[in-house]
Amino acid sequence: MKVLFLQPNLADVRSADAMEPLVFAILKSLTPADVEVALRDERVEPIPDEESADLVAMTIQTFTARRAYQLAAQFRGRGIPVVAGGHHPTLLPEEVLRHVDAVVMGDAEGIWPQLLADARSGRLRRLYRGPQPPLTSGLIPDRTIFAGKKYLPIHPVQFGRGCRYACDFCSVHAFYGTSLRYRPVADLVAELAALSGRMVFLVDDNLFADPARARELLQAVAPLGLRWVCQASIDVAADASMLDLLSRSGCCCVLIGFESLRRGNLVQMGKAANLALPDYDSAVARIRRRGMMVYGTFVFGYDADDETVFAEAADFAIRNKLCLANFNPLVPIPGTPLFRRLAAEGRLLFPAWWLAPDYRYGMATFRPRSMTEAELTAGCFWARKRFNALGTIVRRVLDRQANGHNLQQLALFLAANLTSRREIFRKQGLALGPDGGLCESP
């Protein structure tokens, strides 16, 4: 039996910023030795027209759904069954089941052996629900599946899943609810110790959701001498001892979802961690004083946003010398409170933007209250161009406190900024999926 793991791309282009798809390394480690396994990642390589397999297993995010359905149709047309998992199939299983043979809802580890046994016997069920026990003890992702593929030189590693906050736009909360689950610290340290010569990205949505566990992890990681990046809620900046430990453990960059500079928006989105701080500038300063870079993300389109919000956010990001910044239109993901609210208010521009043939990457998908949809689309792209202009990159790279704190961080800063600048211009306005493909709506 041969299983083909498949990672669809959002459009018909190769990506320069693709990271290893960790889910497939996890599933590879749970696959019996007598099952042949291959990975095709459309973000970094083409998929041969006659790729053979007995089962195709793909992960689908909302932005890749249209392309995933096109690929599923091609494989199923050759008699090869397709199973899909990920956030989109979990939140919209009925839609996805119209295009594939089976859907996995939730995390796949707990049901993967049974699913493979069912596929071997030709009795694949239509729907599998992954249980949510503690993360499997002793499980080390098998990264040999990534050999020879051109990913970013940074390993994604996961400690825990879930987030204690419930922002109304967030698909993580819609997927996991309020549950928080963690691997044993010893397992994570063993995985990290086996990685050599590359950066590490701890991909937990909020590494500090459980402060006690975070401290245990940082203390265990510090002796490894790694350089790594993590995601955190902004309230970590209020804990000086945690920041000191974070820096000593090897963290060189913290990704923070600022989301908005306007309090009314933060209240509307339920961003409790951000509301607890008096201001963002001092929070960023406390992180940067310890030699760590800050990568910020912002979303635009909440009700307190008007056409002046883009310059406000770009000025903040440049003034605070953020190493990277994302300026995105607010995107309603199915299954989130935001999507349900905008649908109930009749403000969605597309019933299902991820399948709409007229949708283009970077476009507004709903009608904002205080600006037009065209202003939202143009404003986000303007902020991206301003922050990533060569002049602002040069000014930020001269920062010796964090961005240029040492040669390693300087090299990381330059590589990340040049890649981000290139990808921004390549992806803006792209259609999802190749032209002439599936154009249906649910």
CATH number at residue 51: 3.40.50.280
Give CA separation, 292 vs 227, 404, 414, in Å.
Answer: 11, 10, 15
pLDDT given for residue 437 in this prediction: 43
234 is a domain residue: yes
438 is a domain residue: no
| pLDDT, average across residues 146-153 | 94
Amino acid in the structure at residue 314: A
DSSP 3-state percent helix, strand, coil across the chain (nearest 5): 40, 15, 45
144 is a domain residue: no
CB 28 within 8 A of CB 144: yes
Confidence of residue 323 (pLDDT cuts 50, 70, 90): very high
Tell me: do 166 and 303 sit in the same domain. yes
**What's the pLDDT tens digit per position in 276-320?**
887 999 999 999 999 999 999 999 999 999 999 999 999 999 999
Identify the domain boundary among 94, 129, 164: 129
Confidence of residue 154 (pLDDT cuts 50, 70, 90): very high
pLDDT given for residue 277 in this prediction: 80
| pLDDT, average across residues 147-152 | 94
More confident residue, 29 or 138: 29
Tell me: do 8 and 93 sit in the same domain. yes
Tell me: do 191 and 318 sit in the same domain. yes
291 is a domain residue: yes
Tell me: do 198 and 108 sit in the same domain. no
- How many CA atoms are closer than 13 Å to the CA of 92, on its beta-carbon side? 20
432 is a domain residue: no
- How many CA atoms are closer than 13 Å to the CA of 134, on its beta-carbon side? 6
CB 258 within 8 A of CB 274: yes
**CA distance linking residue 42 with residue 53, whole number of Å:** 16
Tell me: do 331 and 417 sit in the same domain. yes
**What's the pLDDT tens digit per position in 47-96?**
988 889 999 999 999 999 999 999 999 999 999 999 999 999 999 999 99
**CA distance linking residue 148 with residue 127, whole number of Å:** 33
CB 325 within 8 A of CB 298: yes
Tell me: do 125 and 158 sit in the same domain. no
DSSP, collapsed to helix, strand or coil, labels residue 325 as: strand
Confidence of residue 209 (pLDDT cuts 50, 70, 90): confident
Look at the chain and report how many structural domains it folds into. Answer: 2
Percent of the chain with pLDDT over 90: 79
pLDDT given for residue 138 in this prediction: 82
- DSSP label at residue 389: S
278 is a domain residue: yes
For strand 181-182 and strand 160-161, is the pairing parallel, antiparallel, or unpaired? antiparallel
Tell me: do 183 and 244 sit in the same domain. yes
Beta bridge partners of 59: 85
pLDDT given for residue 274 in this prediction: 87
Tell me: do 315 and 178 sit in the same domain. yes
Residues spanned by the domain of 119: 2-129
DSSP, collapsed to helix, strand or coil, labels residue 30 as: coil
CB 305 within 8 A of CB 268: no
440 is a domain residue: no
What tokens appear for 90 in the block?
């979990």
pLDDT given for residue 178 in this prediction: 67
Confidence of residue 258 (pLDDT cuts 50, 70, 90): very high
Tell me: do 119 and 202 sit in the same domain. no
pLDDT given for residue 136 in this prediction: 66
pLDDT exceeds 60 at position 441: no
433 is a domain residue: no
pTM (2 d.p.): 0.92
Tell me: do 96 and 199 sit in the same domain. no
Identify the domain boundary among 97, 129, 161: 129
Tell me: do 117 and 212 sit in the same domain. no
CATH number at residue 289: 3.80.30.20
Tell me: do 390 and 340 sit in the same domain. yes
pLDDT given for residue 410 in this prediction: 94
